[in-house]
Amino acid sequence: MSSSRGQASNGPPPNCQKVFIQRDYSDGTMVKFQTRFPTELGDRLDRPTFEYTINQLNNYFAEAERASCSTYCEGCLACLTGYLIYICTETHYEKCLRKVAKFVSEQNDRVYRPRGLLLTDPTTRGLRLIEISVLDRPAS
C-alpha cells in the first residue's frame, strides 16, 4: 500500500542520480526537513519552488504532530476501546500522511516530472529524508 505513495507505480529508475534532503533536528525530534537548496538541482529547479515544497511538507508534518483537544479525545477513546476504534477510523496522523502523499503526487505531476525529477514521499523512507531522483542523470 505505501510503496507507491506519492510516486509513479514503478518508481524511479535504480541507477539514476539521487539528491537527499536530510531531517532538521535543530528544533528537536519532530519531523522537519532542511530547506537548504541542493546545488545538484540548480539547473532544473528554482529555489522558491524547492523551498515551497519543503516548507509545505514541514507544515503538514507539524500539523500531524500538533496536540489538540480532538487528538487527546482520540487517544482517550482508543484506550477505552482497547484500540479497536482504529479498525473503524483513521488517526489524525494517518489523515495528515494522506495529505502528504497527495501533495507529493501533485508536486510530481505539476513541477518535478516535467523537469526530469521525481520527488519521493518521505514516508516511504521512514521519515528520515526526502529523496529527489534526477531521472536522466546516471548515478555517480
Comparing 111 with 4, the larger pLDDT belongs to 111
pLDDT confidence band for 135 (50 / 70 / 90): confident
Q: Which residue do the cell numbers 494522506 mark?
A: 98
Measured in degrees and rounded to the nearest 5, phi and psi for residue 81 equal -100, 10
CA distances from 16 to 13, 103, 118, 134 (A): 6, 23, 10, 6
Burial class of 32 by CB neighbour count within 10 A (0 to 12, 13 to 18, 19+): buried
Burial class of 9 by CB neighbour count within 10 A (0 to 12, 13 to 18, 19+): exposed
Q: What is the pLDDT of residues 47-66, one digit of tens each?
A: 999 999 999 999 999 999 99
Measured in degrees and rounded to the nearest 5, phi and psi for residue 19 equal -115, 130
Question: How much is the average pLDDT of 105-117?
Answer: 95
Type of residue found at 101:
A
Q: What's the confidence (pLDDT) of residue 3? A: 44
Segment among 2-11, 17-26, 51-60, 116-125 with least mean pLDDT: 2-11
Q: What's the confidence (pLDDT) of residue 79? A: 95
Mean pLDDT of the chain: 89
Measured in degrees and rounded to the nearest 5, phi and psi for residue 20 equal -110, 135
Q: What's the confidence (pLDDT) of residue 15? A: 80
Within 15-93, strands assigned E span 16-22
Q: What's the confidence (pLDDT) of residue 2? A: 42
pTM for the whole thing?
Answer: 0.85
Name the β-bridge partners of 120. 131
Q: Which residue do the cell numbers 529523496 mark?
A: 131
Q: What's the confidence (pLDDT) of residue 88? A: 92
d(CA 131, CA 74): 32
Q: Does pLDDT of 38 surpass 80?
A: yes
In three-state secondary structure terms, 24 is coil
State what percent of residues in the chain have pLDDT above 70.
91
Q: What is the pLDDT of residues 2-15, one digit of tens each?
A: 444 444 445 777 78
Q: What's the confidence (pLDDT) of residue 12? A: 72
